[in-house]
Amino acid sequence: MTPEQIELVQSSMQELGAGDDVVRRFYDRVFELAPETRSLFPDDMEELRTGFLATLTELVASLHELPDLALQSRALGARHRGYGVQASHYAVVRAALLDTLASTLGDGFTPAHAAAWGQAYDLLAEVMQQGAAASAGGPSIASRRPR
């Protein structure tokens, strides 16, 4: 990613804000695109909505610091393997995230923003999947969810 792309991703993340509404619509879109993933998630999504947004914000803030980003996303990916998340689901979440950004930010979300977000997501998803593959030998510390 270029520094300009990182800037586009970080500024749209800020614009998105911390609203529960956005995350609600994001998960609605995930379940619309892939209803079979609903059963992987808990019935009550409240805690996860907050956790997802906080983690995404943290990861996006680390785009400049690749070693930090890699460490966090590998562990996150290892935990996701434990949740039953499959490689194909990463494309679903990518589409849901980009759709939600576009519908929330409207004209402010330009093709350049979309390309930059696509790159950022692909980077995260790739490292998460590396973490998932590395943990395939059995449970590790990384696959335990922090409390």
Residues that bind ligand HEM (CB under 6 A): 37, 40-42, 48, 51-52, 55-56, 59, 76, 79-80, 83, 85, 89-90, 93, 124, 145
Residue 91 CB, nearest approach to ligand HEM (Å): 8
Nearer to ligand HEM, 69 or 109 (CB): 69
AA identity, residue 92: V
Nearer to ligand HEM, 14 or 55 (CB): 55
DSSP state for residue 42 in the 8-state scheme: -
Residue 83 CB, nearest approach to ligand HEM (Å): 4
- Please tell me whether residue 98 adopts helix, strand or coil conformation: helix
Nearer to ligand HEM, 39 or 107 (CB): 39
Own/partner contacts of 87-92, CB < 8 Å, gap of 24 or more, are 87/129, 89/34, 89/37, 90/125, 90/128, 90/129, 92/30, 92/33, 92/34, 92/37
Residue 2 CB, nearest approach to ligand HEM (Å): 20
Residue 73 CB, nearest approach to ligand HEM (Å): 8
CB 72 within 8 Å of CB 62: yes
